[in-house]
């Protein structure tokens, strides 16, 4: 019975993956749509800054604010 369930799960997974690939094929099209105006691309530095450095900086700011709030709360409880 386990072999049958594993085969069924594999078939469902393969079918789902195939359907997702078929549905995303228009996303890979090279022709432009009406009103499409993409603009200039990002450089490597801009891309790394926007998608790597900026989220890390935002995380560090939020973590710092949480730590400051936690320390002030501990000081109020002690005094």
Question: What global pTM score does this model have?
Answer: 0.50
Give me the pLDDT at residue 53, please.
97
Give me the pLDDT at residue 75, please.
73
Give me the pLDDT at residue 67, please.
92
**Residue 27, pLDDT above cutoff 70:** no
Give me the pLDDT at residue 59, please.
98
Query: Do residues 50 and 42 touch, judged by C-beta distance below 8 A?
Result: yes
Range from 1-5, 30-34, 56-60 carrying the lowest mean pLDDT: 30-34
Instruction: Write the burial class of residue 44 (CB in 10 Å: 0-12 exposed, 13-18 middle, 19+ buried).
Output: exposed
Rg (CA), the chain: 25
Give me the pLDDT at residue 2, please.
84
Query: Do residues 71 and 78 touch, judged by C-beta distance below 8 A?
Result: no
| Closest to 49 (Cα-Cα) out of 40, 37, 58, 62 | 58
């Amino acid at each position: 019975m386990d072999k049958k369930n594993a085969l069924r799960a594999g078939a469902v997974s393969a079918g789902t993956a195939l359907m997702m690939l078929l549905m995303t094929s228009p996303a890979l099209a090279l022709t432009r749509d009406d009103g499409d105006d993409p603009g200039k691309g990002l450089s490597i530095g801009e891309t790394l800054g926007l998608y790597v450095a900026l989220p890390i900086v935002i995380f560090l700011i939020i973590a710092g604010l949480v730590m400051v709030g936690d320390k002030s709360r501990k000081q109020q409880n002690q005094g």
